[in-house]
Amino acid sequence: MLIDRRTFLMSSAAAVAAPALALAQTADVDVAIVGAGAAGIAAARRVAAANRSFRLIEASERIGGRCITDTRTFGRPFDRGAHWIYSPDANAVAQAGTRAGVDIYPAPPGQKVRVGRRYAREGEMEEFLATLVRARRAIEETTRRGDVSCAQALPKDLGSWQQTIEFLFGPSAFGKDLAALSALDFIKSAERDVAAFCRLGFGALLAKVGERVPVQLATPATRITWQGRSGVEIETARGKFSARTAIVTASTNMLASGRIAFAPELPRRQLDAAARLSLGSQDRVALELAGNPLGMQRDELMFEKSNDARTALLLANITGSTLCFVDVGGRFGRDLAAQGERAVVAFATDWLANLYGEDIRKAVGRSAATQWNMEPWVLGAASAAAPGGQGARRVLMEPLAARMWLAGEAAHETLWGTVAGAWESGERAATEALKAIGALKEPEKEKPAPQQRQRRKPRQRQPRQPAQPRF
C-alpha cells in the first residue's frame, strides 16, 4: 500500500538524475528506512528535502509507531501512546504541526494530589514540593560519583511521600521502577515541565506531518544484509530491494528480540546497548465518565499520596470531553497489563472509586486499555537506561560500516522517550546517510573570534514540578 505515489515517483526519479557518487551505485534507492514512526518519517522528509531517493517500509498497517491516535473506539481522539507534547516552542514535530494548521494548546500548569477521599491541603502541597526538590537534588548529587540506580540515590527518609515520589520519578515518568533506572539517565533527561496537547491527538498530528511521505505499510523487514558489495539489502515478505545506505528505527526491544535478522549479526556492542536501554512498561486506560463526576477541569492532572506501588495517574476531561486517562506503569503496570484488558480497566475503576466514592462506578461508560508490551512490532513503551547504561545511547548512534544507522527515541541522550527525541534522531541519521553517499558536504568550520572571558552569574533553579508521564 503506497501513500502519495506521485511523491514517491518524484523521489525515485531524483536518483536516476543524480550523479553516481559513493557506495553501491547500482542500488534501487539511496536510503532504505525501516519503520514509519517519528524517526522514520523525519528521516524520509530529510532525504526527500535533499532530492535523494528512499524507500520507507513499515511493519504495521499504520504510521506513527508509538504515537497513534484512535478515533474509532470512542468516536473522539484517544491517544494510545504519546500524548504530552514537551517544550512545544522548541519541538520540531509541534512546529511542523502548527505550520500544517493543527490546533495545539498549552497544558494547564500544576496538578492535584489526592489524600484519601480529599485533596491535599496547602501545607501538604508545600511539604510535597519541598520533598520532591530534595529527592531530585539527592539523585543529581549522587551522579557526580557514578551512575547507580535511582533507588540507591533516592533518600530513604522522605517520610509519607516516599511511595508517591518513587512512582512519579519511576513508573509514571519512565515506565520502570527506580531500582531498574539509571540515575544519570534520569538527570540527563531534558526538562519536561512545559507541555502542550493537540486537540486532534498527538498521533493525528504526527500523521498530518507525515501524510505526504510515501510509505509501504504491512511490510516488515525480515532480514537486513548490511555489509554486501551492493550496499544494503532489505528482505521482506513482499520481496527484497537494495539501498546504498539504511536507517533502522526499530525499538530496542525489537532489536534484542531477533525478529529482524541481520547479516552479519549486529555487533555485540550494539546488542548490549539495546539490552541496557530496554523499554519500560506504560499503559493507559481510557474511561468515559459522563457528567464530570470527578469535578475536574479540562486536562487536569491528578495523582494520589500512595502507600504502595498499586497506584496510577489521572488526566481528566481530555480536551474538554468526557474521556479520562488512567495511566499505570513499572513492574506493577506490566504485571497488571499481562492479565488482560479487563483486569486493567477493573483496576482503574476500583482506584477511582477508592478515591472519589463508589458512585463513580455508575458514571463509567465505554472503556479501553492499551497493552504495549504485547504490541508485536514494539514490545514495550519507551527506553529507559539500566543503572550504568546511560552511555549506551551514544553507542546506538554509531554508524555501522558507514552505511547503516540505528535511530529512534532511544538514540537521543536528553530527549529519550519522547516523540521529539525520535524525530531529531531520525533527522540526524538521515543527515549522516546523505553525507555517506556524498549528497551533503561537511561545512567549513569558522574560526571563532577571540573573546574575553566573562564571569558567569550563578543560575538560580526554580523548584521543578513532578516529571510528566511520557505517554
Q: Is residue 271 part of a domain?
A: yes
Indicate whether 17 pLDDT > 90.
no
Q: In terms of DSSP bridges, do strands 282-289 and 323-329 run parallel, antiparallel, or are they unpaired?
A: antiparallel
Q: Is residue 94 part of a domain?
A: no
Phi-psi sector, 61: left (phi>0), alpha (psi -120 to 50), beta: alpha
Binning pLDDT at 50, 70 and 90, where does residue 85 land? very high
Specify whether the CB–CB gap between 52 and 74 falls below 8 A.
Answer: no
Total domain count, the chain: 1
What pLDDT sits at residue 455?
A: 47
- Percentage of the chain beyond pLDDT 90 is 85
What pTM does this model have? Answer: 0.89
Binning pLDDT at 50, 70 and 90, where does residue 339 land? very high
Taking only the tens place, the pLDDT of each residue in 377-394 is: 999 999 999 999 999 999
Q: Give Cα separations from 427 to 13, 196, 402, 407, 433 (angstroms).
A: 22, 23, 16, 9, 10
Q: Is residue 319 part of a domain?
A: no
Taking only the tens place, the pLDDT of each residue in 285-330 is: 999 999 999 999 999 999 999 999 999 999 999 999 999 999 999 9
Average pLDDT, the chain: 91
Q: Is residue 146 part of a domain?
A: no
Q: Is residue 447 part of a domain?
A: no
R_g of the chain, CA atoms, integer Å: 23
Q: Mutual orientation of helices 5-17 and 38-49 as an angle, nearest 10°?
A: 50
Q: Give the whole-angstrom CA distance, residue 45 versus residue 52.
A: 10
Helix, strand, coil % over all residues of the chain, rounded to 5: 35, 20, 45
* Mean pLDDT, residues 331-351: 98
What pLDDT sits at residue 454?
A: 47
Q: Give the whole-angstrom CA distance, residue 186 versus residue 336.
A: 25
Indicate whether 184 pLDDT > 80.
yes
Taking only the tens place, the pLDDT of each residue in 19-57 is: 333 455 678 999 999 999 999 999 999 999 999 999 999
The residue length of the chain stands at 471
What are the strands, taking DSSP E only, across 399-443?
Answer: 404-406
What pLDDT sits at residue 441?
A: 73
* Mean pLDDT, residues 57-75: 97
Report the CATH number that the domain containing residue 257 is assigned in CATH: 3.50.50.60
Q: Is residue 28 part of a domain?
A: yes
Binning pLDDT at 50, 70 and 90, where does residue 208 land? very high
What pLDDT sits at residue 289?
A: 97
**Nearest alpha-carbon partner for 220 in 397, 69, 375, 70:** 375
Q: Is residue 53 part of a domain?
A: yes
Indicate whether 345 pLDDT > 50.
yes
Taking only the tens place, the pLDDT of each residue in 390-433 is: 999 999 999 999 999 999 999 999 999 999 999 999 999 999 99
Of residues 249 and 145, which shows the higher confidence score? Answer: 249
Q: Give the whole-angstrom CA distance, residue 466 versus residue 469.
A: 9
Binning pLDDT at 50, 70 and 90, where does residue 230 land? confident
Binning pLDDT at 50, 70 and 90, where does residue 156 land? very high
Which residues form the domain of 413? Answer: 5-67+202-278+379-436
Indicate whether 198 pLDDT > 50.
yes
Taking only the tens place, the pLDDT of each residue in 257-295 is: 999 999 999 999 999 999 999 999 999 999 999 999 999
Query: Residue 413's Cα: distance from chain center in Å?
Result: 13
The torsion angle over the Cα atoms of residues 22, 23, 26 and 30, rounded to 10 degrees, is -90
DSSP characters over 292-336: -TT---TTEEEEE--SSS---EEEESGGGSSEEEEEEEHHHHHHH
- Percentage of the chain beyond pLDDT 70 is 88
Q: Kindly state the greatest CA–CA separation across the chain.
A: 71
| Nine-digit cell string for 54 | 528512499
What pLDDT sits at residue 326?
A: 98
Q: What angle do CA 58, 64, 68 make, to 5 degrees?
A: 135
DSSP characters over 44-72: HHHHHHTT--EEEE-SSSSS-TT--EE-T
**Nearest alpha-carbon partner for 247 in 14, 41, 5, 21:** 41
Neighbour-count burial of 105, counting CB atoms closer than 10 A to its CB (0-12 exposed, 13-18 middle, 19+ buried): middle
Of residues 38 and 462, which shows the higher confidence score? Answer: 38
Q: Is residue 178 part of a domain?
A: no
What pLDDT sits at residue 193?
A: 86
Binning pLDDT at 50, 70 and 90, where does residue 191 land? confident
Binning pLDDT at 50, 70 and 90, where does residue 464 land? low
DSSP characters over 379-393: -SS-B-PPTT-TTHH
What pLDDT sits at residue 23?
A: 57
What pLDDT sits at residue 471?
A: 62
Question: What are the residues facing 354 on neighbouring strands?
Answer: none
